[in-house]
Amino acid sequence: MTVAIPLSIREALDALSNTPDARLIQGGTDMMVEINFNHLKPHNMIALRRVQELRTWTKNADNTLTIGSGVPYQEMETGELKQLVPALAEAARTVGSPQIRAAGTLGGNLGTCSPAGDGLPVLFALDAIVHLQSADASRKLSIHDFMVGVKRNARNANEIITGVTVPLLDGWQGYAKVGVRNAMVISVASACLAIDKPTRSVRIALGAVGPTIIRCRDAEVWLSEQIDISASTAIDAAVAKEFGRRVALESKPIDDHRSTAEYRRHAVGVLAQRLITRASSS
Return the range that interacts with ligand FAD (CB under 6 A); candidates 110-118, 194-202, 223-231, 232-240: 110-118
If one asks whether residue 268 binds ligand FAD (CB under 6 A), the answer comes out as no
Residues from 21 through 50 that contact ligand FAD (CB under 6 A): 23-31, 33, 48
If one asks whether residue 95 binds ligand FAD (CB under 6 A), the answer comes out as yes
Residue 57 near residue 68 (C-beta atoms within 8 A): yes
Rounded to a whole number of angstroms, the minimum distance from the CB of residue 76 to ligand FAD is 11
User: Residue 225: CB partners within 8 Å, gap ≥ 6?
Assistant: none
Rounded to a whole number of angstroms, the minimum distance from the CB of residue 245 to ligand FAD is 27
**Is the Cβ of residue 190 or residue 277 nearer to ligand FAD in the bound state?**
190
**Is the Cβ of residue 131 or residue 246 nearer to ligand FAD in the bound state?**
131
**Is the Cβ of residue 108 or residue 244 nearer to ligand FAD in the bound state?**
108
If one asks whether residue 190 binds ligand FAD (CB under 6 A), the answer comes out as no
Residue 200 near residue 230 (C-beta atoms within 8 A): yes
Rounded to a whole number of angstroms, the minimum distance from the CB of residue 218 to ligand FAD is 26
Residue 200: left (phi > 0), alpha (psi -120 to 50), or beta?
left
